[in-house]
């Protein structure tokens, strides 16, 4: 990364530039401090105490190097769709039944493995930096950062609620009211297990929802959801809380013959690009199983009219 010191930045220290202007995390600054050639001004290696002047050329060695590579991520050729990619970010449409990152029992079938393979083809070191994560059975958009600075900026946006996400779900029953906001804190259901629950002791969790289609027999609904917060299983917990669990959600509802997973898809995301702040919006088409489910619901509705 290279940038020129602006007139209004005259006299500030490099540390102030990095943390105040560039919004770098303390961890990233520490990495650059101890990396050979990590911090340069006008071609000279410097410390973070260096006082800057208008026109100085600041260079940061933020590119991934071989020593940064995650040894645990095995490159594997897997079917994923890249929705958007540039030097700073990669946005994927994760298929259903694919975990986001490796874990016990899933060492070579995750989104991280797929992206590691794409990097290996180019001969590039790979570091997996997912900005958001999806459950294995949830399909749709996953945003990843290609360098540590972009990651820090995007994590800050996520923390401040400035990355807008839209999901589509098929739920059991019809939400009442059909449009609203669920404001219910979420906590672990019990220590050491994955399940979450609504609890007064939990962290703030807010989800907007809008019912856009209802089956003729009112057994199922198609719902658009926009979480304002990002708690684990938030949408799944909130919809079950109001009596409309996701179709196929074995954890918060029950399995379904209509689809072999919970019917949730991350369909749209809007965020500020980490390099220049321009608005980026990406959309992910529905996977086949979800599209078939929605078609059955909507066609049945049309046939009844």
Q: How far apart are CA 32 and CA 1, in angstroms?
A: 12
3-state secondary structure of 268: strand
Alpha-carbon distances, residue 18 vs 14, 33, 160, 189, 278 (angstroms): 6, 11, 20, 41, 20
- Report the largest interatomic distance among the alpha carbons of the chain, rounded to a whole angstrom: 74
Q: Which of 62, 53, 63 has its CA nearest to residue 17?
A: 53
Annotated catalytic residue: which of 56, 86, 135, 249?
135
β-strand 57-60 against 220-227: which pairing, if any?
unpaired
Does 302 participate in catalysis according to the annotation?
no
Q: How far apart are CA 148 and CA 212, in angstroms?
A: 39
Q: How far apart are CA 248 and CA 172, in angstroms?
A: 9
The H or E element that residue 154 is part of is helix 148-159
The H or E element that residue 227 is part of is strand 220-227
Both tokens of residue 21?
A: 């202007």
Q: Assess whether the previous peptide bond of 171 is cis (omega < 30° from 0).
A: no
Both tokens of residue 51?
A: 């006082």
- Rg (alpha carbons) of the chain, rounded to whole number: 22
DSSP 212: E
Q: Which residues are catalytic?
A: 135
């Amino acid at each position: 990364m290279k940038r020129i010191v602006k007139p209004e930045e005259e006299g500030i220290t490099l540390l102030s530039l990095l943390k105040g202007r560039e919004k770098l995390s303390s961890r990233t600054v520490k990495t650059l401090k101890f990396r050979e050639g990590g911090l340069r001004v006008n071609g000279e290696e410097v410390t973070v105490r260096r006082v800057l002047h208008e026109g100085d050329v600041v260079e940061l060695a933020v590119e991934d190097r071989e020593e940064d590579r995650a040894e645990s991520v095995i490159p594997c050729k897997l079917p994923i769709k890249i929705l958007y990619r540039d030097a700073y970010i990669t946005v994927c449409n994760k298929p259903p039944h694919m975990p986001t990152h490796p874990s016990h029992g899933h060492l070579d079938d995750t989104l991280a493995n797929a992206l590691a393979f794409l990097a290996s083809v180019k001969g590039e070191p790979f570091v997996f930096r997912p900005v958001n994560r999806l459950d294995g059975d949830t399909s749709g958009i996953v945003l990843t950062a290609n360098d540590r600075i972009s990651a820090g900026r995007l994590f800050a946006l996520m923390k401040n609620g400035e990355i807008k996400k839209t999901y589509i779900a098929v739920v059991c029953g019809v939400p009442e009211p059909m449009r609203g906001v669920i404001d219910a804190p979420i906590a672990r259901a019990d220590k050491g297990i994955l399940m979450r629950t609504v609890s007064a002791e939990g962290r703030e969790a807010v989800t907007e929802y809008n019912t856009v289609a209802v089956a003729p027999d009112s057994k199922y609904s198609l719902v658009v959801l926009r979480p304002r917060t990002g708690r684990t299983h938030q949408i799944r917990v909130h919809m079950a809380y109001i009596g409309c669990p996701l179709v196929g959600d074995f954890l918060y509802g029950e399995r379904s013959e209509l689809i072999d997973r919970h019917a949730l898809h991350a369909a749209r995301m809007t965020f500020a690009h980490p390099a220049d702040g321009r608005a980026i919006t990406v959309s992910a088409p529905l996977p086949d199983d979800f599209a078939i489910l929605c078609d059955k619901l909507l066609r049945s509705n049309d046939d009844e009219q």
